Amino acid sequence: MLQGNQSKQEAVTRMIKPLKLGNHTVPYPLIQGGMGVRISGGRLAGHVAKAGGIGLVAAAGIALNSDHYTGANYFQAEVQAFQTEIRKARAIAPDGVIGVNVMVALSDYEALVKAAIEAGAQVVVCGAGLPLSLPELAAHAPDVALVPIASSLRAAQLIARTWEKRYHRLPDAVVVEDPDTAGGHLGEKLEHIGTGEYDQYATVRAIKQFFLEEYHSDVPVIAAGGIWDRADLEHALAEGADGVQMASRFVCTEECDAAPEFKQAYLNCTKEDIGLLMSPAGLPGRAILTSTPKIRQYDLDHHTVCRMGCLKKCTYKESGERFCIVTALDRAQRGDVETGLVFCGTNAWKADRITTVQAIFDELFGAEQELQEAA
């Protein structure tokens, strides 16, 4: 029996290979997902990179709760705070791979991509829209890996064909996000989420095959959404993914940049507390819903107005409909989870303790490390 278990473990270990994105390689096939408004800032991204994964600093709303924001200089502070957090991550992991997540839906998307590259980001991941012009923004930095997020073969094809035709460049990887399980803003219509029709790993394999057949290129495809533990990692790799992106799992760590109350919201929530809401960005989002009835009331009580204009398209900015999402996320990040918005994936209820980034890596990859040492 022991021999059988060892053979199975060795087979799994063979699947767990270093992840190469362009010119950058990390020991473990894991990208830490970008969580906006300072949930994944420099501290979390740096420690993930130090542990052997790719750490991402999320751009959205990073000016808020920073030393750079005065209340009247949002876009200037966004660039400054973003670069500060990227450099903070680099100081923690001088030899690691540090990247960023920049939503296409942000009003200052282009400026933030350029700022990230200037600050030394090695990977740029973009979702919440199609990053069709991303290679142009990074043309002066060919070593920076460019990674779009897509939920469908069609989206991946459009991005790849546009990039190849206009810029003679292909993505260095594609993240396939499962809207049925991922947290935060989702790239799918609300009525299509949770119907059981979406097959994430069929999409992973189809995108992989597309690049092989059309471009003779083995582009890494990363599975995102619902990845929590070693079993999820093994399943993703067995189904054809080259690696995984994990976000919610890293919230309840000492290194996560959120307030203790934000992390406690994960520890307290049940499976039934997690659900969908419509963001003023025009996208569905997954969150812990226990506080959401108070978000709109907060804006009404405090006469909140759109001061930042953080999104290109926003119903709150345009007509006062729904709520101000960046301030709702900011309140939660600071610890006000009663009136703030706590984004999360479907598995956030599984969090049962505050741990460390290294402990998560030990759980995910420790057996593989032991086998390597034994060999």
Q: Read off the pLDDT of residues 299-331 as tens digits, 9 standing for 90 and up.
A: 777 777 777 888 888 888 888 778 889 999 999
Q: Are residues 242 and 317 in the same domain?
A: no
Q: Are residues 216 and 269 in the same domain?
A: no
Q: Are residues 237 and 284 in the same domain?
A: no
Of 143, 228, 122, give the one whose Cα is nearest residue 178: 228
Binning pLDDT at 50, 70 and 90, where does residue 8 land? very low
Q: What is the pLDDT of residue 370?
A: 55
Span 140-159, mean pLDDT?
A: 96
Q: Are residues 133 and 216 in the same domain?
A: yes
Residue 342 has pLDDT above 90, yes or no: yes
Q: Say how many Å lie between the first and final Cα of the chain, rounded.
A: 21
Q: What is the pLDDT of residue 27?
A: 96
pLDDT digits (tens, 9 = 90+) for 160-211: 999 999 999 999 999 999 999 999 999 888 888 888 889 999 999 999 999 9
SS3 2: helix
Q: What is the pLDDT of residue 317?
A: 85
Please check whether residue 78 is in contact with residue 108, taking contact to mean a CB–CB distance below 8 angstroms: yes
Place of tokens 């812990």: 288
pLDDT digits (tens, 9 = 90+) for 46-102: 999 999 999 999 999 999 988 998 989 999 999 999 999 999 999 999 999 999 999
Residue 144 has pLDDT above 90, yes or no: yes
Please check whether residue 249 is in contact with residue 35, taking contact to mean a CB–CB distance below 8 angstroms: no
Q: How far apart are CA 348 and CA 274, in angstroms?
A: 8
Q: What is the pLDDT of residue 291?
A: 72
Q: How far apart are CA 256 and CA 133, in angstroms?
A: 31
pLDDT digits (tens, 9 = 90+) for 329-339: 999 999 999 99
Residue 213 has pLDDT above 80, yes or no: yes
Of 194 and 112, the one with more pLDDT? 112
Domain count of the fold of the chain: 2
Q: Are residues 247 and 190 in the same domain?
A: yes
Specify the pTM: 0.91
Q: Are residues 141 and 266 in the same domain?
A: no
Structure tokens at 259: 């307030």
- Would you say how long the chain is, in residues? 375
Q: What is the pLDDT of residue 237?
A: 95
Average pLDDT value over all residues in the chain: 91
Of 273 and 367, the one with more pLDDT? 273
Residue 13 has pLDDT above 90, yes or no: no
Q: Please give the share of the chain, as a percent, with pLDDT higher than 70.
A: 94
**Looking at residue 347, what DSSP letter applies?**
T
**Residue 202 CB partners (closer than 8 Å, separation 6+):** none
Q: Please give the share of the chain, as a percent, with pLDDT higher than 90.
A: 76
Span 235-256, mean pLDDT?
A: 97
Span 94-122, mean pLDDT?
A: 96
Q: What is the pLDDT of residue 282?
A: 87
Q: Are residues 212 and 326 in the same domain?
A: no
Q: Are residues 250 and 284 in the same domain?
A: no
Q: What is the pLDDT of residue 1?
A: 43
Q: Are residues 117 and 162 in the same domain?
A: yes
Binning pLDDT at 50, 70 and 90, where does residue 375 land? very low
Q: How far apart are CA 184 and CA 309, in angstroms?
A: 19
**Residue 203 CB partners (closer than 8 Å, separation 6+):** 151, 152, 153, 176
| 46 phi and psi angles, rounded to 5 deg | -65, -40
Q: What is the pLDDT of residue 82?
A: 97
Structural domain boundaries, residue 152: 2-258+352-374
Q: What is the pLDDT of residue 134?
A: 97
Q: Are residues 179 and 284 in the same domain?
A: no
Q: Are residues 293 and 337 in the same domain?
A: yes
CATH number at residue 184: 3.20.20.70
Q: Are residues 267 and 253 in the same domain?
A: no
